[in-house]
Amino acid sequence: MSSRLIRIASVAAVVVASTAGIASPAFAQQASQVSVVHGIPGQPVDVYVNGKKTVENFQPSTVAGPLELAAGTYDVALTKPGEAVTSALLQNKSLAVPAGKNLSVAAHLDAAGKPVLTAFANDTAMIAAGKARLVVRHLAAAPAVDVRAGGKPVFSALTNPNEVKADLPVGTVNADVVLAGTSTVAIGPKDVGLKAGTSTIVYAVGSAEGKTLGLAAQTISGLAGAPTGMPAGRGPVSDGLGSIFLLVLAGVALGGFAFVTRRVVRRGSR
């Protein structure tokens, strides 16, 4: 009896140990999605991740990826197309990638016009049914800006390298970017289609001085929240006028039953 108990216990221990053994690396391996944004005008680049060429001849105002990268620290470098990684234009030797996140790494100009790499964590929270997320990131060598939709400011005084965001009704937004507090259009106008359950991230890039201001954009889908309920019935007929109909039906049936029974009884008595 006691040996049997011990055997059961040891089997249980093995099961627990092996389950834990399987579970922990799987948890650690949850990769992050990493997109790369090119926001430096006039200079196509090659992108190296840990010394390996990952994106070739990457054009300005485009977005590459997403790459699936396991949690860890990465060496990200940008070179002129075809040049050795040792002569990188821009490099971050210790880009931290946490587990299970959605990141965008942008090569862009800072407010003073110097090329830099900035990493953003993308908001992948579920979006309410019928809404879409709009994120605007100021990555241009330009002063503070307002973002307008249909001519009305929706985000104001946005500065490099910051972001603003909102969940908006689905549809097409006619957006432009103006110098903060003015109606001097810096970028746009441009129609931005906002689709349910997607996050559209718009990057304002380039240089005001160099007259190279423009937009890059990426979308993240699969964030659609479902409706909160499905009210697909407004009551049985019996709950309204129909109940009268049912009562009549029941009355007829009972009457019929009584009639039939009487007939049966009478026949039986014969």
Partner 1 sequence: MRRWAGLVVGMVLVALISSCAGPNSGTFGEDVVQGLATTSPAPPVTTVPSVPVRQGPAPARAAVQPVRLAIPAIGLTARVVPAGVDGNGEFSVPPSVDEVGWYRFGAGLGEPAGSVVVGGHVDDARSGPGAFYRLGDLVAGDQVSVVGEDGTTRAFRVVAKEQVPKKGLDLTPYFSAEGSARLTLFTCGGQFDGAARSYVDNVIVTAVPSG
Q: How far is the CB of 78 from partner 1 (least distance, A)?
A: 14
Contact string (CB under 8 A) for partner 1, positions 73-102, x = contact:
------------------------------
Total residues at interface with partner 1 (CB under 8 A): 63
* Subset of residues 231 to 260 that bind partner 1, contact rule: CB under 8 A: 231-242, 246, 249-250, 253, 256-257, 260
| 18 vs 261 by CB, closer to partner 1 | 261
Name 238's Cβ contacts closer than 8 Å, sequence gap at least 6. Answer: 246
* Subset of residues 145 to 204 that bind partner 1, contact rule: CB under 8 A: 170, 192-193, 195-197, 200, 202
Instruction: Tell me the C-alpha distance between 234 and 241, whole Å.
Output: 13
Residue recorded with tokens 């890059």: 216
Asked if 226 is part of the footprint of partner 1 (rule: CB under 8 A), the reply reads yes
| 33 vs 160 by CB, closer to partner 1 | 33
| 159 vs 238 by CB, closer to partner 1 | 238
Residue recorded with tokens 């699969």: 222
| 122 vs 200 by CB, closer to partner 1 | 200
In the sheet with 152-158, reading across from the earlier edge strand, the strands are 152-158, 145-149, 171-179, 185-194
Contact string (CB under 8 A) for partner 1, positions 103-142, x = contact:
-----------------------x-xxx------------
Instruction: Tell me the C-alpha distance between 62 and 60, whole Å.
Output: 6
Q: How far is CA 112 from CA 101, 160, 162, 187, 233, in A?
A: 30, 10, 15, 18, 61
Contact 159, 138 (CB under 8 A): yes
Q: Give Dmax over CA atoms of the chain in angstroms.
A: 116
Instruction: Tell me the C-alpha distance between 148 and 158, whole Å.
Output: 12
| 42 vs 112 by CB, closer to partner 1 | 42
Asked if 269 is part of the footprint of partner 1 (rule: CB under 8 A), the reply reads no
Instruction: Tell me the C-alpha distance between 123 and 189, whole Å.
Output: 25
Paired tokens of 233: 């019935």
Contact string (CB under 8 A) for partner 1, positions 29-58, x = contact:
--x----x------------x----xx--x
Q: How far is CA 189 from CA 33, 212, 235, in A?
A: 30, 15, 50
Binding site for partner 1 (CB under 8 A): 31, 36, 49, 54-55, 58-59, 61-65, 67-68, 126, 128-130, 170, 192-193, 195-197, 200, 202, 215-219, 221-222, 224-242, 246, 249-250, 253, 256-257, 260-261, 263-264, 267
